[in-house]
Homo-oligomer: A and B are copies of this chain.
Amino acid sequence: MSPHQVPFDNFYSVIPAGGIGSRLWPLSRADAPKFLHDLTGSGQTLLRDTWDRLVPISGADRIMVVTGRAHRAAVESQLPELSDPNIVLESEPKDSSAAIGLAAAILLKRDPNVVIGSFAADHVIRDIRGFRRSVREAIAVANAGFIAAIGITPSEPTIGFGYIHCGKAIDIDDAPSAVSVESFVEKPDFETAQAYLASGDYLWNGGMFISRADVLLEQLGRAEPELLAGLTELAEVWDTPVRDAVVDRVWPQLSKIAIDYTVAEPAAAEGRLVVVPGDFDWDDVGDFASIAKLHSGGRKSDLAILGENARVLADKSTGVVISQTGRLISLIGVNDIVVVDTPDALLVTTTANAQRVKSVVDALKISGRNDVL
C-alpha cells in the first residue's frame, strides 16, 4: 500500500444504502434501488463504486452498510467482503437520522473513540485522490470535536442540489481548508444558483458528514431525544442474541427524519459544524438529466446509451437511452430525450422534465400500482 492508501486510524465508513431514487423510475424500483444500478458505465453498481472508493480510506473491514432487509442478498452479492458485524439491516426505512445514528451508536459501543464518515451508496465521485484529501481534512476536523461536512465546489449553477453557505476560515490542525458554516440552504432557483456560483461562498451539500460518533449522537439527541434513546437501546443489544426482538419492537417507533435536520443544521446554527471544501467531481445522479450529463461530458450533441444489451439505432437524436430489455430502440429526430426501457414499464420524457419523474411515481403510488414501483 502506498502512503495514500493507508486507512485512517479509528475511522469507520458508513454507507446508508436506503433510497430508491424515485426520480430514476422505472429504472429504480423498490426491489432495484438506485444504488444497485450501474449508472456511470463503470461496469459495476454505484454501491460497489462507493465501496471501492472507501476501502483505501477505512479498510474493507471498517465499512458498515445500513440497508433494508429486502436488499440484504443484493448488497452481500455486490460486497462479498462485507463482514457480518458490518451489515445493519433496517426492518423498514426510517430515513438518514435513524440509519446513520444506529451505525454511530453500534460503532460507539464497540469503540468509544471511533470517528465515522457517512457516504451515500449512490453518488458518483471519480477523483479518488481529491476525495481522500477532503476526507483526511474532515477527519482532522472531527478529531477536533466538530462535525465536519464535505462541501463540493460548484462547477455550474445547479438547481438540483442543496448548498452550504460558508463563513470564515477556521484554524484546525491538519485541516487547512476548513471553514465555518453560515447556513445550509435548500435547492435554489436558477438566478439564486447563479449568484451562489458567482459569490464563491457557496458549496454543494454533498451529504457527507464526518464526526466522532459520540459527538454526532450527542447533537442528534438534543434535536431528537427519543430517537437517541431508541438508537442507544438498539446499540446496547446489537451484538447480542436479543437483537432481532429489540429491533422489531424499537425500530418501528423511531422518528423518520433526515440527518440534515437533526444534526447538520442545528450544529451549523450552534457553530459546531465545519465544512471542508472538496474540489473533486461529485454528482448525486439524482435524475436522468444528471445521467445524460455524466455521460456526455457536458456536450449537448451526445446520446448516452446505458444497458448491457442495449441495441439503439439513432438518427439526429440526443439525450439518454437506458435499456434493460435488449429490444431494438430506434430514435429519430428527438433531442434531449430520455428513454428508459424496462420489461414492464417505459418512460419517455426529456432532460428538462427529469425532475418531474417523481410525480409519475407519486401518481402510481396513489393509484396502487405497486407492481411497477
Chain A interface residues (CB < 8 Å from chain B): 26, 313, 315, 327-334, 337, 339, 341, 343-350, 352-353, 356-357, 359-360, 363-364, 369, 372
Contact = CB atoms under 8 A, between A and B. Distances in A.
Contacts of A313: 360, 363-364
Nearest to A337: B348
Nearest to A343: B327
A346 B328 contact: yes
24 contacts: A313-B360, A313-B363, A313-B364, A315-B360, A327-B343, A328-B372, A329-B346, A330-B346, A331-B347, A331-B349, A332-B347, A332-B348, A332-B349, A332-B353, A332-B356, A332-B357, A332-B359, A334-B337, A334-B350, A334-B353, A337-B348, A341-B346, A346-B346, A348-B348
Contacts of A352: 333
A26 B348 contact: no
Nearest to A342: B327
Given A315-B360, A329-B345, 4 more contacts: A327-B343, A327-B346, A332-B347, A348-B348
Nearest to A332: B349
User: Which of A315, A343, A346 has its CB near the most chain B CB atoms (within 10 A)?
Assistant: A346
Contacts of A26: 328, 330
Contacts of A327: 343-346
B348 A339 contact: yes
5 closest pairs, A vs B, by CB? A333-B353, A332-B349, A328-B345, A332-B353, A329-B346
Contacts of A353: 332-334
A334 to B, nearest CB: 6
A332 to B, nearest CB: 4
A315 B356 contact: yes
